Amino acid sequence: MPKKIRIAGRTSPLAIAQVREMMSLLPDVEYEFVPVESYGDKHKEISLLDNAMEDIFTRELDDAVLRGDADCAIHSAKDLPYPLRDKISIAAVTKSADATDSLVSRDGATLAELPEGAVVGLSSPLRREQIIAARPDINILSIRGNIQERIEYINRGDADAVIVASIAMKRLGLADRIAEILPFGTNPLQGCLAVTVRTDRPAVRKLFYPLDYRRFYGRVILMGAGPSAPDLLTLRAANILKIADIIFYDDLMDESVLDPYDCEKTYVGKRKNLHSVEQEKINEMLYLSAMDGKTVVRLKGGDPSVYGRSGEEAEYLARRLIPVEIVPGVTSALAAAADSGIPLTMREVSSGVRFAAGHGKDAFSGTPGRGTLVYYMAASVLPDLSAYLIGEGYPLKTPAAIVRNAGSVLEETSVTDIEGLRTAETSPPAIIIIGDTVSHALRQPKFLFTGLEISRYSVRLPGRMVHYPLIRTEEILVPPAIEINRYDAVIFTSKTAVRIFFRKYQIFGQKVFAIGPATAEELRRQGIGNAIVQSKHHSAALAEVIGEYGIERALYPCSEQSDNPLHRIPQVETVVLYRTSDRSQPKIELSKFEGIIFTSPSTVTSFKRLYGNFPENLLYYCIGPVTAGILAEYGIEQEIIIDVSEIP
């Protein structure tokens, strides 16, 4: 590291003032100023109102840094190109001293006071729009040059007023020439200075760290929620959601994904033809929250980089120097493939897959070729898709599948071919899969599982289990005081009871009885390895066993709805720890299922409330005679009820 660091800066008085101002904050650092003329300074004839090159004011300075003629360069942060040059890093961005623009005019007239048809000189396309919106009669003049040169336009009579950055006027001691601070939003980096260095010069980067205001910025995580089945959210996503300060979410199909997180949540979805928040507005909200120091999650259905605008949002934020991370999600094409059992690639059938859109400026285009095609956003244009593929020479009989609501219990798949797509009907959200792999779809029976998540595979049936929980458990808020030493045994008949009990109480040498392997497993997890396990789902059998052990007083923690022979044994005292209640679920088409599994009486009553009756062409599975009894009470014939606990 040289004793004096060499700082490249532009040659205008303003640029020199900027360097002096920044280095005054680092009084112990000795420096030498290396003046460099930028392309933009040399070519004042180039208008900035047209698409000027992005690094017009920075290229030559960063060249000097890369060559080693300077150790760093100081720029106006808003002049930095995006992305930055290779091997160049930003060492610091200062806090903006003043981000406003000012009007400087002859005789100090404000924008409103300027005469009809007045000429206003400026050099930003955004400012041109804003001025014309406020005063349509104004004539715009594209101007260039440093502050003094801009003010000269007025003195020469070429313009009645010019627009300049307020901070520049202040830095040059010209604040008294300001006629009006303009109310318009400006470039977010206006008034910030940025130091660029060679990435491979860590010592120079360290030098400027104290000035780096970016350490107060938050960050934005562009995150995929999957197709919004709460259990298709990735672990990484869940971990980040736990630390989020604010979540901006879209049209997730299942908002319960967000229930566990109690930070601020803002809906910014764009339901077609409904309320919509403009993309520009969303970008701005993300930016402002991050500038506020927040950890901001932008949560999208599926994956953020598949028709999820991650590109636009990431660039918007990165241009404003906000750190951005992208967390992937399960894109709906993959959920659709899984639910329909259609392989997207398959040896000797299809060696590739292509995602395409059925909506937008270049819908469909560029998709044909070999391999599987997957269309997003095509539900409402199936006839057009059919016509397009036929036009591209696809055989009419190429198989096609329409997968609606992939990932959720409402999933429905129908299979047709390209010709059939012309008359097929569906509604969003749907994924269309086209290609020969469609005819290799996995076919197997489906069963509806109505119990809580936790016991998903406790009943082994030959096919796919669709989880459709009809109940939820609620803990009793104020648990009763229990004098555990009054009992010589504790009985558990459900996992939930075990979990809640051991969160609140302890046992001291009492015998533990359990019904069912799942309950025993949960006990082991709680450190109780010596429970006496009754494998049958029979409370009656357990009642006998308790007698055999000579138990005098047993505690039975259970749910409010619990009703079985245990309650009628004189030695057993019940304590209610939780209750089960109905869980609201959409009604689904039951004809695609071969059977329904009920895990408890409350799942049966909840079903009855939702559907009114029990279709006759299904097989009803249940666990234990109490649940079987309720099914029978609702009029279901014994011939179509299987109590799986009865059959070894």
Q: Supply the residues annotated as catalytic.
A: 250, 270
CB of 365 to ligand SAH, least distance (A): 17
- Return the ∠ at Cα 344 (arms to 342 and 348), rounded to 5°: 100
CB of 343 to ligand SAH, least distance (A): 17
Contact region with ligand SAH (CB under 6 A), list: 31-39, 330-338, 495-503, 604-612: 330-338
The CA distances from residue 33 to 15, 55, 94, 202, 255, in Å, are: 11, 21, 19, 20, 57
516 makes contact with ligand SAH (CB under 6 A): no
Select 196 or 310, whichever has its Cβ closest to ligand SAH: 310
b/e burial code for range 132-161 (CB count within 10 A of at least 16 → b): eeebeebebbebbbbbeebbebbeeeebbb
CB of 235 to ligand SAH, least distance (A): 18
User: Taking a C-beta distance cutoff of 8 angstroms, is the pair 376, 331 a contact?
Assistant: no
Q: Given candidates 75, 171, 205, 300, which one binds ligand SAH under the rule CB under 6 A?
A: 300
Size of the residue set binding ligand SAH (CB under 6 A): 22
CB of 289 to ligand SAH, least distance (A): 21
Element (H, E) at 500: helix 495-504
The CA distances from residue 347 to 230, 352, 413, 440, in Å, are: 32, 10, 23, 11
Q: Given candidates 208, 248, 307, 593, which one binds ligand SAH under the rule CB under 6 A?
A: 307
469 makes contact with ligand SAH (CB under 6 A): no
230 makes contact with ligand SAH (CB under 6 A): no
Q: Which DSSP letter does residue 85 get?
A: P
User: Taking a C-beta distance cutoff of 8 angstroms, is the pair 229, 407 a contact?
Assistant: yes
User: Taking a C-beta distance cutoff of 8 angstroms, is the pair 571, 546 a contact?
Assistant: yes
Burial of 263 (0-12, 13-18, 19+ CB in 10 A): middle
CB of 340 to ligand SAH, least distance (A): 10
Q: Given candidates 405, 437, 496, 599, which one binds ligand SAH under the rule CB under 6 A?
A: 405
CB of 587 to ligand SAH, least distance (A): 18
Select 68 or 360, whichever has its Cβ closest to ligand SAH: 360
The CA distances from residue 562 to 378, 575, 578, in Å, are: 49, 10, 10
Q: Which position's Cβ is nearest ligand SAH?
A: 302
Instruction: Select from 305, 235, 221 the least CA-distant residue to 263.
Output: 221
What whole-number distance in Å separates Cα of residue 168 and Cα of residue 156?
Answer: 21
CB of 349 to ligand SAH, least distance (A): 23
What whole-number distance in Å separates Cα of residue 486 and Cα of residue 553?
Answer: 8
Contact region with ligand SAH (CB under 6 A), list: 79-87, 300-308, 489-497, 603-611: 300-308
Select 305 or 458, whichever has its Cβ closest to ligand SAH: 305
What whole-number distance in Å separates Cα of residue 53 and Cα of residue 207?
Answer: 30
Select 312 or 552, whichever has its Cβ closest to ligand SAH: 312
Q: For residues 251-270, which are near ligand SAH according to CB under 6 A?
A: 253
Select 295 or 405, whichever has its Cβ closest to ligand SAH: 405
19 makes contact with ligand SAH (CB under 6 A): no
Select 120 or 406, whichever has its Cβ closest to ligand SAH: 406
What whole-number distance in Å separates Cα of residue 306 and Cα of residue 333?
Answer: 10
CB of 146 to ligand SAH, least distance (A): 47
Q: Given candidates 407, 435, 451, 516, which one binds ligand SAH under the rule CB under 6 A?
A: 407
Select 324 or 377, whichever has its Cβ closest to ligand SAH: 377
- Pairing type for strands 412-417 and 399-404 reads antiparallel
Write out the two tokens for 220: 């934005």
Q: For residues 169-228, which are near ligand SAH according to CB under 6 A?
A: 227
What whole-number distance in Å separates Cα of residue 502 and Cα of residue 607?
Answer: 31
Residue 44 backbone zone (phi > 0: left; psi -120 to 50: alpha; other: beta): alpha
Select 415 or 507, whichever has its Cβ closest to ligand SAH: 415
Contact region with ligand SAH (CB under 6 A), list: 37-45, 206-214, 240-248, 400-408: 400-408
Write out the two tokens for 130: 């804003």
What whole-number distance in Å separates Cα of residue 9 and Cα of residue 69?
Answer: 12
Q: For residues 416-455, which are near ligand SAH according to CB under 6 A?
A: 428-431
Write out the two tokens for 530: 């010596």
Q: Given candidates 64, 258, 377, 471, which one binds ligand SAH under the rule CB under 6 A?
A: 377
38 makes contact with ligand SAH (CB under 6 A): no
Instruction: Select from 576, 551, 541 the least CA-distant residue to 561.
Output: 576
CB of 342 to ligand SAH, least distance (A): 13
248 makes contact with ligand SAH (CB under 6 A): no
165 makes contact with ligand SAH (CB under 6 A): no
331 makes contact with ligand SAH (CB under 6 A): yes
Could you list the residues that contact ligand SAH (CB under 6 A)?
227, 253, 300-303, 306-308, 331-332, 336, 376-377, 403, 405-407, 428-431
